[in-house]
Amino acid sequence: MPISPDSRLLVTGGAGFLGSHVVKVLRERGYRQIVVPRSREYNLVDRDAVARLYHDATPQVVIHLAAKVGGIGANQAAPGELLYANLMMGVQMIDEGRRSGVDKFVAIGTICAYPKLTPVPFREQDLWNGYPEETNAAYGLAKKLLLVQAHAYRQQYGFKTIYLLPVNLYGPGDNTDPHTSHVIPALIRKCVEANARGEQTITVWGDGSPTREFLYVEDAAEAIVLAMERYNDPDPVNIGSGQELSIQALVTLIAELTGFRGQIVWDTTKPNGQPRRCLETSLAKQVFGFEARMPLRQGLERTIAWYRRSLADRGQTPVSVSPVHSG
């Protein structure tokens, strides 16, 4: 059945960072029946709760964004928890979707699924050419298995699943918790906080040499909705900006934009994570017309402004947090 504004859509994780932006794009495009389940009502790790969700929502299309995520520190501290939660959520959502007769399932993978030493830029065909970087392998493999399940279910049951591989996301609404946040929100919080407290140093994990690629969350949301509407093939598709940046250069840029003029201390006793990350993104443009639009500097300026507004809205002042990692 063709997707239309009358289609019933289920967006897991739709109240979260990426999900809220996806729901916003869907509403702007005229979709009227969007179900956003909350974890307090539907624990997607529990099979019965997943079955109940499908019974209650009766979706025709599922966008599965719900995930348990974190940076290098979180991945090192709880790899088993991250593997189990993400694997069980994804496997059960796909299986119950198939049993419920869903027309289309959009699965979101992760750049962490790529092998540690993938040639740059990462091409979709390189996905199986090695083991992921050790610090986030459990999470990456849990999400990667959903691609295997998607292929198996398409072959045996004719169940239509598409699989997208986004890079590191950032933007307004991001998670700034010092224990679970990724590098951009962690750096922004650290620099803003240091300024407020008059501190002259911030500490960052690693040596600054790894490279990363970053995608503004609104661009990512646009890509997901375009893929839902236009893409139907089994092959995975990279979602990114195609721009590679070292962590050292990122730290320098965020320090400049936040007005932090102190010293950057590199804690080389901590892991760097994957040496390089940058995607080949031409397939997304070719098959569903997506190209990233937000320049990194402008996106960071918007994210910093959002963070400062969020502090002011809550009447809060920055407090001391942990050193920033490069995940």
Strands 211-212 and 245-246: antiparallel
Task: Return the structure tokens found at 108.
Answer: 């979101």
Q: Tens place of pLDDT for every residue, the chain, 327 residues?
A: 689 999 999 999 999 999 999 999 999 999 999 999 999 999 999 999 999 999 999 999 999 999 987 777 667 788 999 999 999 999 999 999 999 999 999 999 999 999 999 999 999 999 999 999 998 899 999 999 999 999 999 999 999 999 999 999 999 999 988 777 889 999 999 999 999 999 999 999 899 999 999 999 999 999 999 999 999 999 999 999 999 999 999 999 999 999 999 999 999 998 888 889 999 999 999 999 999 999 999 999 999 999 999 998 777 655 433 444 445
* Superfamily, domain 8-169+214-239: NAD(P)-binding Rossmann-like Domain (3.40.50.720)
Say what the pLDDT of residue 316 is. 65
What's the longest Cα–Cα distance across the chain? 62
Say what the pLDDT of residue 182 is. 85
Domain boundaries, the chain: 8-169+214-239
Answer yes or no: are the C-beta atoms of 99 and 48 closer than 8 Å. Answer: no
State the Cα–Cα distance between residues 139 and 137, nearest whole angstrom. 6
Say what the pLDDT of residue 1 is. 67
Task: Return the structure tokens found at 181.
Answer: 């946040």
Query: 65's torsion region: left (phi>0), alpha (psi -120 to 50) or beta?
Result: alpha
User: How far, in Å, are 19, 195, 307 from residue 15 at the CA level?
Assistant: 6, 31, 18
Tell me which of 54, 139, 170, 307 is the catalytic residue: 139
Q: pTM of the predicted model, to two decimals?
A: 0.92
Please list the alpha-helical segments (H only) found in the chain. 17-28, 47-57, 72-77, 79-100, 137-157, 183-197, 217-230, 247-258, 282-288, 296-313
139 catalytically annotated: yes
Say what the pLDDT of residue 322 is. 40
State the Cα–Cα distance between residues 272 and 209, nearest whole angstrom. 8
Task: Return the structure tokens found at 254.
Answer: 């965020």
Answer yes or no: are the C-beta atoms of 105 and 160 closer than 8 Å. Answer: yes
Question: In sequence order, which residues have a C-beta less than 8 Å from that of residue 30 and are 6 or more positions away?
Answer: 5
Q: What are phi and psi of 50, to 5 degrees?
A: -65, -45
Answer yes or no: are the C-beta atoms of 202 and 191 closer than 8 Å. Answer: yes
State the Cα–Cα distance between residues 171 and 239, nearest whole angstrom. 16
Q: What burial letters (b/e) apply to 10-37, b meaning 16+ CB within 10 Å?
A: bbbbbebbbbbbbbebbeeeebebbbbb
Task: For residue 244, count other CB atoms closer than 10 A to its CB.
Answer: 17
Task: Return the structure tokens found at 308.
Answer: 């400062």
Instruction: Name the one residue in this structure whose structure tokens are 């995930």.
Output: 67
